[in-house]
Amino acid sequence: MKLVGERRALAAAIMAFYFLFYGVLAYSQIAPDFTKAFAAIAGVYGLAFFSLVAGYFWARWYSVGVGLYGVISAAVGIWQIGAEPLLVFMGGTHLAATLFLWGQTMSEPYQRLGRSVIRAGVSLPFILLYAFVPRPDGAAALALVAFVLAAVGLRGLVQLRTWGVLAIGVAGALILAMVSADVAARGFDAFAVRPTIAAGMLISAVVPFLRPIARFVTA
């Protein structure tokens, strides 16, 4: 891939911009009920920026996932309220960051790992928003448990640990169960779209590893 360093630098700049953007929103407490959510999302972008600059081998995949999160969020927002300039800008910049980081050829085991890290990277911001927006205390605690499982599982995944895959799968199942309970209580609405995407991404991140795990267990 040509201009690897330059493209990585541009993607890192976009991640740094959103880290500062959400950090300022959290610090200013412009929406007090969402201060924790803004701070958490700032942390997601901060990790993407730092990992790209540090050159961690998983940074590209994780940052692609965060970029796709922004694209999906903007697309859902445009679907709900129309093509507002802020949403178009958000979608465009995240799409640019994703494309800057796309296209590296890897061996098959790392392709499997890369796809799963991307899917986990997409899901983490959605889970954080689901956990930190105003919710009943019990539901918020369960969402935080799911986030911790997903975050710890992502760490295990990049180390190719079986427990990491299982933790991500449990997090996806927990979020899916919570969304199902919400839908049963009040029907499927816009609030359920994003966590449903997160649950689907987490579960799909596990699928490529199920056959190798089964072979290992039955060997």
Q: What is the CATH number of the domain that holds 116?
A: 1.20.1270
The per-residue pLDDT for 97 is: 94
The per-residue pLDDT for 142 is: 84
Number of domains into which the chain is organized = 2
DSSP 8-class letter at 189: -
Determine the 3-state secondary structure of 40 from DSSP.
helix
Do 62 and 19 lie in one domain? The reply is yes
Residue 106 has pLDDT above 80, yes or no: no
The predicted-structure confidence for 136-177, as pLDDT tens digits, reads as follows 666 778 888 888 999 899 888 888 788 898 999 999 999 999
Single out the residue in 78, 105, 132 at which a domain terminates.
105
The answer to whether 94 and 12 are in contact (CB under 8 A) is no
Q: Quick one: average pLDDT of 15-35?
A: 91
Query: Whole domain around residue 177: which residue ranges?
Result: 108-219
Determine the 3-state secondary structure of 180 from DSSP.
helix
The per-residue pLDDT for 110 is: 53
pTM comes to 0.79
The answer to whether 113 and 160 are in contact (CB under 8 A) is yes
Do 45 and 138 lie in one domain? The reply is no
